[in-house]
Structure 1
Amino acid sequence: MKIYVILSFDGETMENVYVGPDEEKALSLKPAEFDNCEALFVEIWEDGEKTDDYRLEE
Protein backbone atom coordinates (compact mmCIF):
# COMPACT_ATOMS: atom_id res chain seq x y z
CA MET A 1 0.00 0.00 0.00
CA LYS A 2 1.27 3.45 -0.88
CA ILE A 3 1.26 6.15 1.78
CA TYR A 4 1.46 9.80 0.72
CA VAL A 5 3.17 12.25 3.07
CA ILE A 6 2.66 15.93 2.28
CA LEU A 7 5.10 18.33 3.92
CA SER A 8 4.56 22.06 4.25
CA PHE A 9 7.73 24.17 4.00
CA ASP A 10 7.70 27.68 5.48
CA GLY A 11 11.22 28.74 4.53
CA GLU A 12 12.86 27.26 7.63
CA THR A 13 10.96 24.19 8.80
CA MET A 14 8.86 21.38 7.37
CA GLU A 15 5.67 20.02 8.90
CA ASN A 16 3.51 17.03 7.94
CA VAL A 17 0.13 18.31 6.79
CA TYR A 18 -1.26 15.07 5.34
CA VAL A 19 -0.36 11.42 5.77
CA GLY A 20 -2.57 8.79 4.17
CA PRO A 21 -3.32 6.49 1.24
CA ASP A 22 -5.59 8.85 -0.75
CA GLU A 23 -3.51 9.89 -3.77
CA GLU A 24 -6.17 12.21 -5.19
CA LYS A 25 -6.54 14.11 -1.91
CA ALA A 26 -2.78 14.29 -1.33
CA LEU A 27 -1.99 15.64 -4.78
CA SER A 28 -4.85 18.16 -4.78
CA LEU A 29 -3.48 20.13 -1.81
CA LYS A 30 -2.18 23.66 -2.48
CA PRO A 31 0.27 25.82 -0.47
CA ALA A 32 -2.38 28.56 -0.08
CA GLU A 33 -4.42 26.16 2.07
CA PHE A 34 -1.82 26.32 4.87
CA ASP A 35 -0.51 29.22 6.99
CA ASN A 36 2.98 30.48 6.08
CA CYS A 37 3.49 27.78 3.45
CA GLU A 38 6.00 28.53 0.70
CA ALA A 39 5.88 25.07 -0.88
CA LEU A 40 4.46 21.58 -0.50
CA PHE A 41 6.54 18.46 -0.93
CA VAL A 42 5.37 14.88 -1.48
CA GLU A 43 7.00 11.73 -0.17
CA ILE A 44 5.62 8.39 -1.36
CA TRP A 45 6.20 5.42 0.93
CA GLU A 46 5.58 1.78 0.07
CA ASP A 47 6.29 -1.20 2.32
CA GLY A 48 8.16 1.02 4.81
CA GLU A 49 10.51 2.52 2.22
CA LYS A 50 10.41 5.92 0.55
CA THR A 51 10.03 5.29 -3.17
CA ASP A 52 9.74 8.87 -4.47
CA ASP A 53 9.73 12.52 -3.43
CA TYR A 54 9.07 15.76 -5.28
CA ARG A 55 7.66 19.26 -4.96
CA LEU A 56 3.98 19.78 -5.68
CA GLU A 57 3.35 22.39 -8.34
CA GLU A 58 0.79 25.07 -7.61
Structure 2
Amino acid sequence: MSRQAASELAAPGWRTLDRGQMLELRRIKQLLAPPRHIAHVLREHPRSGEFEAWRRLVPQLP
Protein backbone atom coordinates (compact mmCIF):
# COMPACT_ATOMS: atom_id res chain seq x y z
CA MET A 1 0.00 0.00 0.00
CA SER A 2 1.34 3.42 -0.84
CA ARG A 3 1.79 6.11 1.79
CA GLN A 4 -0.84 8.21 -0.01
CA ALA A 5 -3.39 5.37 0.12
CA ALA A 6 -2.58 4.65 3.77
CA SER A 7 -2.96 8.31 4.61
CA GLU A 8 -6.37 8.50 2.95
CA LEU A 9 -7.59 5.33 4.67
CA ALA A 10 -6.16 6.31 8.05
CA ALA A 11 -7.96 9.63 8.07
CA PRO A 12 -10.48 9.99 10.90
CA GLY A 13 -12.79 7.38 9.39
CA TRP A 14 -10.53 4.30 9.60
CA ARG A 15 -13.01 2.72 12.02
CA THR A 16 -15.52 2.41 9.18
CA LEU A 17 -13.14 0.39 6.97
CA ASP A 18 -13.55 -3.31 6.43
CA ARG A 19 -11.52 -5.64 8.62
CA GLY A 20 -8.94 -6.40 5.91
CA GLN A 21 -8.13 -2.73 5.38
CA MET A 22 -7.86 -2.14 9.14
CA LEU A 23 -5.47 -5.07 9.48
CA GLU A 24 -3.34 -3.77 6.63
CA LEU A 25 -3.06 -0.37 8.30
CA ARG A 26 -2.25 -2.04 11.61
CA ARG A 27 0.47 -4.11 9.91
CA ILE A 28 2.01 -0.93 8.51
CA LYS A 29 2.06 0.59 12.00
CA GLN A 30 3.76 -2.52 13.40
CA LEU A 31 6.38 -2.50 10.64
CA LEU A 32 7.22 1.14 11.35
CA ALA A 33 7.80 0.56 15.09
CA PRO A 34 11.32 -0.98 15.02
CA PRO A 35 12.93 1.67 12.78
CA ARG A 36 11.76 4.43 15.14
CA HIS A 37 14.55 3.43 17.52
CA ILE A 38 17.22 4.07 14.89
CA ALA A 39 15.61 7.13 13.30
CA HIS A 40 18.67 9.22 14.20
CA VAL A 41 20.82 6.91 12.04
CA LEU A 42 18.33 6.94 9.18
CA ARG A 43 18.59 10.74 8.86
CA GLU A 44 21.77 10.20 6.86
CA HIS A 45 20.07 7.83 4.40
CA PRO A 46 19.03 9.19 0.98
CA ARG A 47 15.43 8.05 1.57
CA SER A 48 15.12 9.49 5.07
CA GLY A 49 12.39 11.88 3.90
CA GLU A 50 10.24 8.95 2.86
CA PHE A 51 10.67 7.31 6.27
CA GLU A 52 9.80 10.57 8.03
CA ALA A 53 6.61 10.89 5.98
CA TRP A 54 5.58 7.37 7.02
CA ARG A 55 6.58 8.07 10.64
CA ARG A 56 4.30 11.12 10.75
CA LEU A 57 1.42 8.91 9.64
CA VAL A 58 1.79 6.45 12.56
CA PRO A 59 -0.41 8.34 15.08
CA GLN A 60 -3.31 8.18 12.62
CA LEU A 61 -3.06 4.41 12.12
CA PRO A 62 -5.18 1.90 14.10
TM-score by length of 2: 0.24
Q: Which has the larger radius of gyration?
A: 2
Structure with more relative contact order (C-alpha pairs < 8 Å, separation 6 or more): 2
Q: Select the structure that is richer in strand.
A: 1
